[in-house]
Structure 1
Amino acid sequence: MGEADEGHENALVYGQRMRALFEACGRPPDVTQKRLAAALFIAEGTLSRYLAGKRIAPERILDLFIAFLADHGQPLDDRERTGLHELREEAQRTSSQPAVRLAYTQGVVRKLRAEVAQLIQEQEQERAVRQARERAAAADLAEERGLRRAEADAADKELEAAREELDRERVRAERQEAATAEELVSLRSRLTVAEQERGRLVELVRVQEKKLRDAASYSRGIEDDYSRVREKAADLARELATVRHQVEMLNAEQVHPTAAHVLRLAGAPGELRVTPTVSAPETPAAIASQQTTGTPAVPPPRRNTPSGERRPPGRLRARWTGFPNDREASNRRRRRRVLMLVAAVAALSVGVARWPGEHRDATADLYAPACAVASPLQEGCVVHEKGQVTDKHSEGSDPPDLDLTILHESGHSATYTVGGDIYNAAQHGSTADLKIWKGRVTAITVAGKTDRQPADLDWPEIWTALLIGLGTALSGYTLLRWRRGPNQMSVIGILFAAAWTGLVAAISLGVTTLLALLGGAAFWLFGAAIAAVFIGIE
């Protein structure tokens, strides 16, 4: 009862003949496939495959099928029964399945043995009734036995060949099973690598989400600063409107010839001062002009002053130093500078307090222990992974970027920018030792040369560097220009100081030696001196 080849001609003819006889037997509900399957003691799905020619119904099933047809009014005569069995035998004989052919061979053997038994029985009967023809029949029987024995031997040989073919099929199946097992091991290894890669991607997503949160917080801080600047600009606009109103009021006043007040701008930018002027003695021409026009004559300016105004004595000038709100404006500027100094010290304090923690996180791989199991996603330990240099090339010039392409033992390849020593020592096929900390390659060693890979700055580190740079620049600006207003050069100086200090703070996060820290301090002092010169320029 083995499976036949799909679409095999003899199996299809045999199945179609059985289906035709079954459909001619009767109509539902008396005759259904379910009742036929129950009568044949098989499953309904097996019956469907028999009738479709996908499987070959054996002799026992065929006999039950013929009996079912006879019970339901469709008996078969000897010719149809013989033809149906011949179709079965031909389908079994031409099947590509060894088990089916073996069943066919066993059926032939049983048939031959049944025929031999029948012949023996007939001989015994003939021996009882035909004593006279016993010798002649014995000779014929012996000859017939020889032929049958030869056929039986041939059938035995075919059976043995079928058994050998079954053994070969079993060996092939075992080999295929072994290959499947190897493929399963390979798939499991790839699944492990994929899970590790998934963990790395999850970690990257977490870092990116943290960066997005930090960026959103930084954006909100900028918006708050912008709102405060807008409020300050509104206050300045209101003060400017007040000053303009006062100027208009002063311009509208009538100036008496003997006590004229001249409005002039003096002192610091934005500070208005009104200086009274003492008029010269009235001349006859001035008196005549006054009487003719009805307007008091303004005396001519003295030539000893560049602005043409007559300066009052020092005591009187001290009394007219400005409007009453000049002192309030000076107090506001002083308060703003104090607040700026407090904000600068606060920003510098927060940045300096955060710097050791960021520096510790940036250099934690130097002091972490080695992992017991080589997994790139383990926390708190360093993984050492082997790799092989597959390519080396340089890009650009003065100086060029030196790149090494390394194939990791996990299967993926990556390109790293390295220093000149390790680049010159590396060759195609050289073994590389990769030091991995939290999924990131922090150091590469090839032929005894080691190169540290700098980490990308994340938002907390950038925020710390910005706080230090901004606090330092504002502190220096406030102290150097405490009594002087801003100008273009001082703005350039404060921007340069903030950028310079932030850059030095960001670079020093990865510094691990005292000598390098001292060099960074000297580097910062050089830039700070330049910024101080710019801030102090009038």
Structure 2
Amino acid sequence: MADARRQDRRPVGRLVLRVVVQGVLLAAGLAVVGLGFARFVDAHDVVVAHRSAPVCGSADIPPGADCAQRESGRVTDKKEQHDSDSDSYILTVAREKASPETYSVGEAFYDDVSVDTVVDLKVWRGRAIEVSYHGHRAEVPSTPWMSSLWVGLLIGLGTALTAAGLLGPRLPDVANLVGVILFVGIITFMGASIQLMGRFSLPLALALSITAWLITVAISTSIAME
């Protein structure tokens, strides 16, 4: 009788252990995905928030608020680049507090300056975000590759853990989980890069991202079950 009772308890114990493991995987996955979305919001703030940021020194800036600084720079070189699709006009500008950088400007802007012309720079968190001169303005695009890579890695890993947690008593194969991480990571990296470089508004970017992630979770869970 005692041996029979012990044998009956073993399947129950395994089931409880498996449920606990699945719950931990699900909770960990959602936490990592949340961290990935938080990283995306931070990247969005860096790339887009400067558009509405006040200029440092303005009277209406709240204490402790971020502001955009004004610097002057000197044009040290200018170069035209022509190809079959388009023409590019490049200025190299020596900054006051940083090493020289190159900026792509319009043709009228390019024609209106020469070497040694002093131009104005708008600086946000140490990065020049706009160059201007006598009414000409050129916004400096940001290429948030590293931020997008981190977002892709975190959401890819979190989605794999979430998929494992949703599979109930059946644990997925490790190779399938690695496939989920790569699949979701690459898709997320591309989507985050497009939204950040496209300057999507934050509500729209989050709505699109969360909808895409929910669809991806369903697909990833199916992949992990195969």
| TM-score normalised by L of structure 2 | 0.59
Q: Residue in 2 aligned with 1:162?
A: none
Q: Residue in 2 aligned with 1:341?
A: 26
Per-residue deviation at 1:440?
A: 1.8
The secondary structure found in structure 2 opposite 1:427 is: helix
Q: Residue in 2 aligned with 1:451?
A: 139
CA distance in structure 2 between the partners assigned to 1:398 and 1:484 by the alignment? 56
Is 1:482 the counterpart of 2:168? The answer is yes
Is 1:435 the counterpart of 2:139? The answer is no
| Match for residue 92 of structure 2 among 381, 393, 406 | 406
Residues 417, 516 of structure 1: CA spacing in aligned structure 2 closer, same or farther, 3 A cutoff? farther
Amino acid at match of 1:496: F
Per-residue deviation at 1:354?
A: 5.8
Per-residue deviation at 1:331?
A: 3.7
CA contact (8 A) 1:444 1:453 kept: no
Per-residue deviation at 1:497?
A: 1.4
Residues 501, 449 of structure 1: CA spacing in aligned structure 2 closer, same or farther, 3 A cutoff? same
CA contact (8 A) 1:365 1:437 kept: yes
CA contact (8 A) 2:25 2:161 kept: yes
Per-residue deviation at 1:505?
A: 4.5
CA contact (8 A) 1:469 1:497 kept: yes
Is 1:532 the counterpart of 2:220? The answer is yes
| Match for residue 517 of structure 1 among 198, 204, 211 | 204
CA contact (8 A) 2:29 2:159 kept: yes
Q: Residue in 1 aligned with 2:72?
A: 385
Amino acid at match of 1:336: V
Residues 520, 445 of structure 1: CA spacing in aligned structure 2 closer, same or farther, 3 A cutoff? farther
* Higher RCO (C-alpha under 8 Å, 6+ residues apart): 2
What are the ranges of 5 or more consecutive residues in structure 2 without an aligned counterpart? 1-6, 59-65
| Match for residue 359 of structure 1 among 9, 25, 44 | 44
Q: 1:455-483 CA distances to partner (integer Å, 9 max, x unpaired)?
A: 66778x8766644443334224432x334
The secondary structure found in structure 1 opposite 2:128 is: strand
CA distance in structure 2 between the partners assigned to 1:533 and 1:357 by the alignment? 28
Residues 411, 384 of structure 1: CA spacing in aligned structure 2 closer, same or farther, 3 A cutoff? closer
Equivalence map 1:204-243=2 (5 Å): none
Query: Greater share of strand residues, 1 or 2?
Result: 2
The secondary structure found in structure 1 opposite 2:159 is: helix
Is 1:369 the counterpart of 2:33? The answer is no
CA distance in structure 2 between the partners assigned to 1:326 and 1:399 by the alignment? 68
CA distance in structure 1 between the partners assigned to 2:97 and 2:15 by the alignment? 70
CA distance in structure 2 between the partners assigned to 1:411 and 1:467 by the alignment? 34
Residues 523, 504 of structure 1: CA spacing in aligned structure 2 closer, same or farther, 3 A cutoff? farther
| Alignment: residue pair count | 206
Is 1:472 the counterpart of 2:159? The answer is yes
Per-residue deviation at 1:414?
A: 3.0
Per-residue deviation at 1:441?
A: 0.8
CA contact (8 A) 1:359 1:510 kept: no
CA contact (8 A) 2:71 2:123 kept: yes
Per-residue deviation at 1:336?
A: 1.4
Residues 493, 410 of structure 1: CA spacing in aligned structure 2 closer, same or farther, 3 A cutoff? closer
The secondary structure found in structure 2 opposite 1:385 is: strand
Structure with the greater alpha carbon radius of gyration: 1
CA contact (8 A) 2:33 2:158 kept: yes
The secondary structure found in structure 1 opposite 2:142 is: coil
- How much identity, in percent, do the aligned residues show? 23
Equivalence map 1:173-212=2 (5 Å): none
Residues 444, 531 of structure 1: CA spacing in aligned structure 2 closer, same or farther, 3 A cutoff? farther
Per-residue deviation at 1:341?
A: 0.3
Residues 330, 413 of structure 1: CA spacing in aligned structure 2 closer, same or farther, 3 A cutoff? closer
Amino acid at match of 1:521: L
Residues 329, 403 of structure 1: CA spacing in aligned structure 2 closer, same or farther, 3 A cutoff? farther
RMSD (CA atoms): 4.9
CA contact (8 A) 2:93 2:100 kept: yes
Query: Greater share of helix residues, 1 or 2?
Result: 1
Q: Residue in 2 aligned with 1:497?
A: 184
